[in-house]
Chain A
Amino acid sequence: MSATAILVERPPPRARGWPRRRIVGYALVCLWIAFGLGIVSYLVFAWNAAFFAKYAPAYLQGLGVTLSLVAISMVVGAVMSVPVAYGRMSRNRILSGLAYCYVYFFRGTPLLVQTFLVYYGLGSFRPELQTIGLWDFFKDAFNCGVFAFALNTAAYQAEILRGAIESVPKGQWEGAASLGLHKLQTLRKIILPQALVVALRPYGNELILMVKASAIVAIITVYDLMGNAKLAFANSFDVQAYIWVALVYLVMVELLRHAIEWIERRITIHLKR
């Protein structure tokens, strides 16, 4: 059995000469390289020290706003996702129905719409919000952004959490019960350590998506990275403003991706042969 298995695993011999597939492949790679070189050469030729000196501080400041927006909403979202995930897994019809509706709404509508609803929609209920003392919070655009983003990411994170917990075999619960551990102990000491390994990748994806989606807050007057890029463009009419901001997002996403990969390598050592 093992002999045939090894035979099957061996890759097919490399084709000789220039079959059509290889030509197309090389052509595509060349196209991408040309595209990348085009952008780089544009940036080199269009290098404008004055533009950089004028707007770089604003970009940095915007980067700070973007990072704190994403960090705060991810953490708040993570806290809020726990009861939602609990509701989704609950046998109580009402609880699970409510949690399902929450997740259904926030995953089924664009984040842009949710942000607009919070900012302009809640804004038109000022008298009511003032009487309950919440207007000071919602008056600020940054707070509105965090609120909308936290609600949105809580829905996604709840599903990640639920999926991860349900991926742990039922036998683990039963085994723990037979050892006399109560439910919370089982969850904390046995289930979650295994579930979070599964959840790491989806969490990483969600974080990356949030970093990119955070550009939305620029239209509700938050001067995040994108907001400052729009401002730089408005003052200069120079497309560079957007190319630089794209590069900053690219670097951020790339750093996050590598960080997540590094963590995954560390926490899955026991699974490697």
Chain B
Amino acid sequence: MRIALRIALAASAALLTLSVAQAQEKTLRIGTEGAYPPFNNLTSDGKLVGFDIDIAQALCDQMKVKCTFVAQDWDGIIPALQAGKFDAIVASMSITPERKEKVDFTHKYYNTPSALAVPKDSTLKGVTKEDLAGKTVGVATTTTHFNYASKTYTDSTVKGYPSSPEEQADLANGRLDAIEDDIVVLQQWLDTPDGACCKILGQPSPQPVEIFGPGAGIAVRKGETDLVNKLNEAIDAIRANGKYKEINDKYFKFDVYGAES
């Protein structure tokens, strides 16, 4: 570790332990994106709703702490966590090695596959590198989908968007031949009038764990093992007591948790 960084870390760690010690007594601040329905979304009157929000609320109830929610753009969500603007990220963040260098993760709280959507009149036959050669694929940057697309579709043009709604709009506008995203997010959009243009083409296979990770986890600042343990216990508890299933069934027709880990 380099000296300047070490000093900065020591100083911020000292400040953070102080603020976290205070925060844990009172409230836990949860950061989320708000542009990733049905997992997290801002309603027209500015309220955060979605699977992530309900799960986070259930975890807070389980841990018997009060929670507040903060909406934060995806690109800056890890820096904002590190800067202490909130204490945990519950925003469908996939657990990846690159992110693990910057933050600590809980176990996964769900795991859904990646898929590609195309216009209904698309002539594309499959989702392999060869199928998409010469085509333009849209993906939200700073996501596992983006990492997969830029590593896999090397013969295609991969365009990066700030978040999912922009990439969906551009697919509907006809600037893109395909978009890659979480299958649940794509399906939710396809069920709306805006998504009527398009359909799911298929799921890339295989979906390597090195890129996609074991699933979505809750991120906290490095070294906050205590909070990670509490959250993990709470995830196991709501899985066991049926609260998870209740929230799951509110949003999905299948179990988004995936295989037991």
Q: Chain A: residues with CB nearer than 8 A to chain B?
A: 41-42, 45-46, 120, 123-124, 126, 135, 139, 141, 219, 221, 223, 227, 230-231, 233-237, 239
Contact A221 B159 (CB under 8 A): yes
**B72 vs chain A, min Cβ distance (A):** 15
Contact A123 B160 (CB under 8 A): no
Residue of chain B at shortest CB distance from A139? B175
B173 touches which one: A42, A46, A126, A233 (CB < 8 A)?
A126
By a CB distance below 8 angstroms, the chain B residues around A223 are 160
By a CB distance below 8 angstroms, the chain B residues around A237 are 78, 98-99, 101-102
Q: In the assembly, what is the distance between CA of A227 and CA of B138, in Å? A: 15
Contact B5 A46 (CB under 8 A): yes
**25 pairs of residues in contact across A and B, judged by CB atoms under 8 Å:** A41-B4, A45-B3, A45-B5, A46-B4, A120-B169, A120-B173, A123-B169, A124-B169, A124-B173, A139-B174, A141-B175, A219-B166, A221-B138, A221-B160, A230-B75, A230-B141, A230-B160, A231-B160, A233-B142, A234-B160, A236-B98, A237-B78, A237-B98, A237-B101, A239-B79
Contact B170 A123 (CB under 8 A): yes
Interface contacts (Cβ under 8 Å), in number, total 58
Query: Which label, helix, strand, loop or mixed, suits the secondary structure of the A interface?
Result: helix
By a CB distance below 8 angstroms, the chain A residues around B169 are 120, 123-124
Of the candidates B101, B166, B173, B174, the one having the most CB atoms from chain A within 10 angstroms of its own CB is B173
Q: In the assembly, what is the distance between CA of A236 and CA of B4, in Å? A: 19
B162 on interface, CB distance cutoff 8 Å: yes
B244 on interface, CB distance cutoff 8 Å: no
Contact B162 A219 (CB under 8 A): yes
- Nearest 8 CB-CB pairs, A to B? A123-B173, A234-B142, A45-B4, A45-B2, A221-B159, A234-B141, A237-B102, A126-B174
B36 on interface, CB distance cutoff 8 Å: no
B257 on interface, CB distance cutoff 8 Å: no
**B102 vs chain A, min Cβ distance (A):** 5
Contact B161 A221 (CB under 8 A): yes
Contact A234 B170 (CB under 8 A): no
Of the candidates A135, A141, A234, the one having the most CB atoms from chain B within 10 angstroms of its own CB is A234
Contact B175 A234 (CB under 8 A): no
Contact B141 A231 (CB under 8 A): yes
**A219 vs chain B, min Cβ distance (A):** 5
Q: Chain B: residues with CB nearer than 8 A to chain A?
A: 2-5, 75, 78-79, 98-99, 101-102, 138, 141-142, 146-147, 159-162, 166, 169-170, 172-175
**B11 vs chain A, min Cβ distance (A):** 13
By a CB distance below 8 angstroms, the chain B residues around A221 are 138, 159-161, 170
Residue of chain A at shortest CB distance from B146? A234
Q: In the assembly, what is the distance between CA of A221 and CA of B159, in Å? A: 6
Q: In the assembly, what is the distance between CA of A110 and CA of B181, in Å? A: 31
Q: In the assembly, what is the distance between CA of A239 and CA of B169, in Å? A: 30
Q: In the assembly, what is the distance between CA of A124 and CA of B99, in Å? A: 36
Q: In the assembly, what is the distance between CA of A120 and CA of B171, in Å? A: 11
Residue of chain B at shortest CB distance from A239? B79
Q: In the assembly, what is the distance between CA of A190 and CA of B142, in Å? A: 56
Residue of chain A at shortest CB distance from B167? A221
By a CB distance below 8 angstroms, the chain A residues around B162 are 219
Q: In the assembly, what is the distance between CA of A126 and CA of B170, in Å? A: 11
By a CB distance below 8 angstroms, the chain B residues around A135 are 174
Given A45-B3, A231-B141, A234-B146, 10 new contacts (CB under 8 A): A46-B2, A46-B5, A124-B172, A126-B173, A126-B174, A219-B162, A221-B159, A221-B161, A230-B141, A234-B75
Q: In the assembly, what is the distance between CA of A123 and CA of B176, in Å? A: 11
Contact A235 B161 (CB under 8 A): no
By a CB distance below 8 angstroms, the chain A residues around B4 are 41-42, 45-46
By a CB distance below 8 angstroms, the chain B residues around A123 are 169-170, 173-175
Of the candidates B101, B142, B161, B175, the one having the most CB atoms from chain A within 10 angstroms of its own CB is B175
Q: In the assembly, what is the distance between CA of A139 and CA of B141, in Å? A: 20
By a CB distance below 8 angstroms, the chain B residues around A41 are 4
Q: In the assembly, what is the distance between CA of A219 and CA of B142, in Å? A: 13
Q: In the assembly, what is the distance between CA of A237 and CA of B207, in Å? A: 23
Q: In the assembly, what is the distance between CA of A235 and CA of B102, in Å? A: 12
